[in-house]
Amino acid sequence: MEGADAAVWDVTRPRRPGRTAGVAMAGFRDRGRAPAGHRAVPHPAVSLALELGAGPLIVDDAAGSGRRGSVAAGLGFGSGGMRVRGEDFEAVQVRLSPLVAHAILGVSPAELDGGVIALDDLWGREASRIAERMAASPSWEERFALMGAFLARRRDTGSPVAPEVAWAWKRIVGGRGLVRVGELAAEVGWSRKRLWSRFHAQIGLPPKRAARLVRFDHAAHRLAAGQDPARVAAETGYADQPHLHREVVAFTGVTPGTVAGEPWLAVDDVAWPGRTARAPAPGT
């Protein structure tokens, strides 16, 4: 994570599990050495980043458009990946399982359309208030607790996904993306059209695209763990290594070798191992 041109961030994760299933968090603090930032590789979750009032947090999408401040990124956040950068900033990253994202966001994840939008556009003043409260807290653990309680309240008052949709998502995840949409529809007793419509509205992607994203995520984890690309392709359902290569480029805009070498999943020990030991107090 430290190179001549690389951004240098301290990363901290909660010591204890959160109160809401399907929610993962990490805290970031930039040490101010370089503004290059880090690539954010698509993941089968809705991602939130809350800027805590220090230096600016900037999220660049695949087209190069930058957005400052606290943001929400849709499931997989579109093709081509994105980059997160800034100088002297502090932020909390949150990942939301699609099964809780609908309730917590207050809108269908499909309205994010795989893109990046300002959290203020979703939550109004609530987004700024929770960020201000976390910024004023003396420790990362207190920040995580505040955010966890806030997300739990939103989940409890929001609309859950339909049981059939939740079941279909769990089947896709459990099958690591190697599930046929027709089989899912038959298993829940719906038509393919109904499953497509309800799943897309409540999860944020059509079932086939969601399965591709889950399969890619599984392969990307294995690449990040140092496994041979040919073996990864063979064991994760790709026709061959060129097929894996094409999918990785489609999702991230870079090659499998680049994905394997970048510290891109801060809340994930597999892809960012040993990067959570430092936990400096906020503002120190």
pLDDT value of residue 73: 87
pLDDT score, position 108? 87
β-sheet bridge partners, residue 48: 72, 94
189 in the same domain as 147: no
Provide the residue range defining the domain that includes 131. 9-157
Co-location of 137 and 198 in the same domain: no
Q: Mark whether 198 and 61 lie in a shared domain.
A: no
Cα separation, 200 vs 161, in Å, equals 11
The Cα 253–Cα 259 span in angstroms is: 10
Same domain, 170 and 149: no
User: How many structural domains is the chain composed of?
Assistant: 2
CA 38/CA 7 separation, integer angstroms: 7
Query: Rounded to an integer, what distance in angstroms lies between the CA atom of residue 102 and that of residue 72?
Result: 13
DSSP 145-168: HHHHHHHHHHHHHSPPPPHHHHHH
How high is the pLDDT of residue 280? 40
| 237 and 113 housed in the same domain | no
CA distances 157 to 62, 91, 122, 237, Å, are: 34, 26, 15, 39
Domain shared by 25 and 119, yes or no: yes
CATH code where residue 212 lies: 1.10.10.60
Q: What is the mean pLDDT of each run of 10 residues along the chain (284 residues)?
A: 53 83 87 66 88 80 76 76 79 92 90 82 93 93 95 93 96 95 94 96 93 93 88 95 94 85 57 44 46
Max CA-CA distance within the chain?
A: 56
What CATH code is carried by the domain that includes residue 55? Answer: 2.60.120.10
Of 157, 191, 214, the residue at which a domain comes to its end is 157
Q: Residue 146's Cα: distance from chain center in Å?
A: 20
The separation between CA 177 and the C-alpha centre of its own chain, rounded to angstroms, equals 17
Q: What is the pLDDT of residue 195?
A: 96
